[in-house]
Amino acid sequence: MITRDILIQIALALALCMIATIQPLLMEVAKRGNGGHTPFHTPSAVFYTEAIKLVIALCTWCYQKRTLEYTGLENFRLSTALVFAVPAALFAAQNNAVFFAMQLLDPPTFQLWACFKLIPVGVASRLVLGKRLSPVQWTALALLALGMANTTLDCVSELSVVASGGAAASRRARGILILLVNGCLSGLSTVFNEWLIKFQDPKAPLMFKNLLIYSFGVLITFGSWQPSAVQP
């Protein structure tokens, strides 16, 4: 029987898939209209994204606070809250890396290699959190790895050139290398974030913890923000 919670989860999953699909396509359209270059300051875009998420989290938490028995403020300490700056910094680095990769890759290649982050996330969850994956899930991760290797074998030599600092490496290989590093960061940040949610003041509502992460995210990305984010 399909419950209301399952329907909500399906709807959210579909929304995330749509957003992930539209983002590189919009970037490609923007590049084509600007001679192949991004027509805006990407670190500023990351700052605006973090600011929007902060506003949404704050409004949601304020709305929920009316009916919460424990809001998260009861045991709030700045010294303990500072730990939320770690996933905030990792998320900021990942979001900037995604923009750099989208500048170098076409949408299909970007989408394929962006899925690489699922592999580090699965492995890190098993090793650090002890989260068990089913044989089907491990098989899916293995098939994903084989699919990426099979469709991009021609980039192996180019990636070795990038790693050795060669200037002649292609944009495609550099973009893939960025996504490989970004995938490892994603595994680290996802596991750390899940640990915070489950073990750091576990009674605190999820939206309050998101509020802390996005607050640090805004502070971290503010240093790279430019009031005029459009590049000539």
State the pLDDT at residue 131. Answer: 74
Q: Which helix (H) or strand (E) holds 140?
A: helix 135-151
Q: Angle 190-191-192 (CA atoms, 0-180°, nearest 5)?
A: 95
Q: Angle 33-36-39 (CA atoms, 0-180°, nearest 5)?
A: 60
pLDDT, tens only, 133-177: 778 777 877 777 776 666 555 555 555 555 555 543 577 788 888
pLDDT of 202 over the 80 cut: yes
State the pLDDT at residue 232. Answer: 44
pLDDT of 110 over the 60 cut: yes
pLDDT, tens only, 71-108: 988 888 888 889 999 999 999 999 999 988 988 888 88
pLDDT, tens only, 41-73: 888 989 999 999 999 999 999 999 888 889 988
What is the percent of the chain where pLDDT is above 90? 22
Q: Are 145 and 160 in contact (CB under 8 A)?
A: no
